[in-house]
Structure 1
């Protein structure tokens, strides 16, 4: 999205598809105060993902175009936007089979602008099918099931849509919105395929996932009308807490002198989104609940359109936040699964390239299983096999001596993902378990998610992340910058990802951060066992008798 000078000299607003998903207030600030962000250092994690996406697109381009150059028209990226758009239109009007890097003409009346990695001519119906290339997963593998819905996919080299029994779709609204945006731009010139189809090539680069754009165009039209009105200053916005805030420069930066950053505005206004973020706050505002105090004062039944957690707990969250309570007990007595032999586990991964470090804690001893060969590397299989073999040996030794065993992590989504991925990618290597062995372990009682234990037993006004919860138990990290995004930057330096000499101090930093994470889960578990009942107020201390769930 950007603003520019229109045909008659007035300030024109243009919007690309990236602005259709995400915070409306950020969109307004980006468009109205672009000079404030000049020179601002982009978040390291965002920059790395951007660079990885660019590298992925180059790989896809070189592979597809290289396989049959005669079918492709490549729009040179070094040209001005105007020349690229002209070249793209000439290619489509000439009936080019496939176009890489196409850019469509900006629309000064609607405000649309956008381009597409692939424009694929529909040989049967005419027009062009937009296909985007993205650096995230668009499908997941699965075992065929005749009763399931099977998405439509096509070969990378021939447009042959068919029902694909071997994958399931990963919901990606941003891809669908971008394809709808491109379809409307093609439609303007009479160059959109009547098939109402679009495609996405994801991180795996193994097939084209086909999207039915007819199912999303109405939603796209409503969303686009709203967003372009925001950019044109026709609709007001206010800050609201959403997941995007974690990486937004406006969260801590004021748009102009005398104004407040979003964070300061939210706190100063005691905005309800601080305790009910995202769609929750949208529902509450429709019922006149704009502040935390409004929510804390709620009595009576829950709103009819409330479809989230128990409404009583949302009200209690507001009351706890207002009094400064970091946690509230849902239960009379806090419990957590304990065992004679306890192992804490935490992994470090780099984007979608792999998991390079499996850190463990047993009897106070930290053991890392790591590869410092830059990912992707076969050596990752070696380090994973060593981790798995060690963990299973500890479990077997406990069973042999009549002791109970449990392994703990915090928020198992990442660990489960890379357990399965590692077993799948390195199948057949020495020490690598089968996917069935992984499934049996993670579905069993000995794999314990401390995040789940926290979620089930506490209301958390300030969030449920480990770095929010463990300090309540008295734990602190050695590195003040410790976090998943920061560790990716440390990793690039630690392995010399860009061809530079590896920085050994960054490897030490990663290991200490990983060790602190497993120590934190241990400290949290001990605190939940021994002190939480006495130190954390119960829900009855906050819940009024007139609040209905």
Structure 2
């Protein structure tokens, strides 16, 4: 998003594709109060992702252009936007086969602005196909299935789209919206390929995922019309809690001296999105439910367009929030799988580069399996193999002694991902298990996800993250800044990722944070076994309770 001075001196509003996904109210505040955030430090996690994305684009550019420089026109950065746009238009007019770093002319009437990493000339139909380079996964590997749907991919060096039996797509609406945005801009100047497709090169940089843009253009047009109207202050917006709020500078900052921050506004209005964030709040508002009190007082039938958790639980969530209850018990008696030998596991990864630390807790003793070589590094395979070998030995020794074994994590998505990824990337190294061994373990009863145990047995008005739940059980982290995003910054310093000498104090900080995570998981498990029934009210209490009581 960008505001500038138009041809006649009026303030013009421009919108790029990044603003098509995300919070509408943030878009409005960014457009109407740009000076408020001047000098405000960018969120560390956002900054790291932005820097990583820039490095990834540079790697892709150097690789592709370097492989056959004669087929490329490179639009140099660091010059005024008007010059870059003019150079891009000249390159397309000259029929350049491939253009890197193209910037299309800003459209004063529609407000569109945008650029594309690659503009690839369609040699068969004419025009150009937009190809974007992104630092997230656009596909996942899979075993070939001849009967299944196959996404279309192309080689990165020759445009040859065809069904790909070896991958499945990872849906990314932000990618398709950006490609539709670029297609409309190319179309305006007569340079859009009639093929109506776009491409995305993802984190793995191994193929181009080809997107069919025909089905998304109507949705894009509606979304763009809405967003540009927000930027032009033609449509009103109010705060609403969404996942983006966690890193948004407006969450705790007021746009004007006499106006509240988003956090304060939502709290003052007891807004329903505080307990039903994102699309849930949108559904509820369509039924006249604006506040937590409205939701808590609901007495009619369930909304016919509610497609989330049972609606009764949503009402209970509102009533629990209103009374300050951090948890509500779904079950008469809380249970959690226990074993004679229990190992708690928590990993630390750095973006998509790898998992550098596998932390464990056994009998109160913390054992980290770590590499401090900057990722990516083969030494990651060594530390992973040592972790897996150690845990499997503990498991085997327990069985040999006739004891039961269980390993615990909190929200297994990350652990499962890096177990599989590590087995795949370091296959053949001593001690590294096969993917089949990983699958057999994670699909078995000895791999216990405490997040699942919490989700199944508690309603959580303030969220289900470990940082939200463990304090209810009495656990508190030593570091007040403990969190996944913060640990990314610590890691960069710990391994001198950006040069200089490694900061040993940050290594200690990471290890203490990881140790606290496994201690929190154990504390939560013990609390669920011993005290949760007595300390957490049951859902029946709130189902009978009205907000007035």
Q: Which TM-score bucket, shorter chain as reference?
A: over 0.9
Q: Which residue of structure 1 lines up, in the alignment, with residue 526 of structure 2? A: 526
Q: Which residue of structure 2 lines up, in the alignment, with residue 119 of structure 1? A: 119
Residue 423 (structure 1) aligned with residue 423 (structure 2):
yes
Give the Cα separation in 2 of the matches to 1:350 and 1:471.
26
* Other structure's SS at 2:140 match: strand
Give the Cα separation in 1 of the matches to 2:14 and 2:148.
41
Q: 1:294: how far off?
A: 0.4
Give the Cα separation in 1 of the matches to 2:256 and 2:86.
38
Q: 1:48: how far off?
A: 0.6
Work out whether residues 299 and 546 of structure 1, in 8 Å CA contact, stay in contact via their aligned partners in 2.
Answer: no
**Runs of 5+ in structure 1 lacking a partner?**
none
Give the Cα separation in 2 of the matches to 1:334 and 1:546.
25
Q: Which runs of at least 4 in structure 1 moved beyond 6 Å after TM superposition?
A: none
Give the Cα separation in 2 of the matches to 1:31 and 1:109.
17
Residue 269 (structure 1) aligned with residue 269 (structure 2):
yes
Cα deviation 1:301-321 (Å, max 9, x = unaligned): 111111111000000000000
Q: Which residue of structure 2 lines up, in the alignment, with residue 471 of structure 1? A: 471
Cα deviation 1:265-305 (Å, max 9, x = unaligned): 00010000000000000010111100000000000211111
Q: Which residue of structure 2 lines up, in the alignment, with residue 396 of structure 1? A: 396
Matches within 5 A, 1:129-528: 129-528=129-528
**What is the count of residue pairs matched by the alignment?**
547
Work out whether residues 316 and 542 of structure 1, in 8 Å CA contact, stay in contact via their aligned partners in 2.
Answer: yes
* Other structure's SS at 2:543 match: coil
Change (3 A) 1:347 1:253: same
Cα deviation 1:489-532 (Å, max 9, x = unaligned): 00000111111100000000000000000000000000000000
Give the Cα separation in 2 of the matches to 1:492 and 1:512.
16
CA RMSD of aligned residues (A): 0.9
Cα deviation 1:451-491 (Å, max 9, x = unaligned): 00000000000000000000000000000000000000000
Work out whether residues 283 and 306 of structure 2, in 8 Å CA contact, stay in contact via their aligned partners in 1.
Answer: yes
Give the Cα separation in 2 of the matches to 1:171 and 1:63.
26
* Other structure's SS at 2:103 match: strand
Work out whether residues 300 and 546 of structure 1, in 8 Å CA contact, stay in contact via their aligned partners in 2.
Answer: no
Give the Cα separation in 2 of the matches to 1:544 and 1:99.
65
Q: 1:544: how far off?
A: 3.1
Q: 1:78: how far off?
A: 1.6
Cα deviation 1:307-352 (Å, max 9, x = unaligned): 1110000000000000000000000000000000000000000000
Q: Which residue of structure 2 lines up, in the alignment, with residue 47 of structure 1? A: 47
Cα deviation 1:117-155 (Å, max 9, x = unaligned): 000000000000000000000000000011211000000
Give the Cα separation in 1 of the matches to 2:258 and 2:494.
42
Give the Cα separation in 1 of the matches to 2:537 and 2:13.
52
* Other structure's SS at 1:542 match: helix
**Runs of 5+ in structure 2 lacking a partner?**
none
Q: Which residue of structure 1 lines up, in the alignment, with residue 2 of structure 2? A: 2
Work out whether residues 494 and 503 of structure 1, in 8 Å CA contact, stay in contact via their aligned partners in 2.
Answer: yes
Give the Cα separation in 2 of the matches to 1:136 and 1:418.
15
Q: Please, what TM-score do these two structures have when normalized by structure 1?
A: 0.99
Give the Cα separation in 2 of the matches to 1:231 and 1:54.
27
Cα deviation 1:209-252 (Å, max 9, x = unaligned): 00000010010000000000000011000000000000000001
Give the Cα separation in 2 of the matches to 1:168 and 1:508.
40
Give the Cα separation in 1 of the matches to 2:224 and 2:194.
21
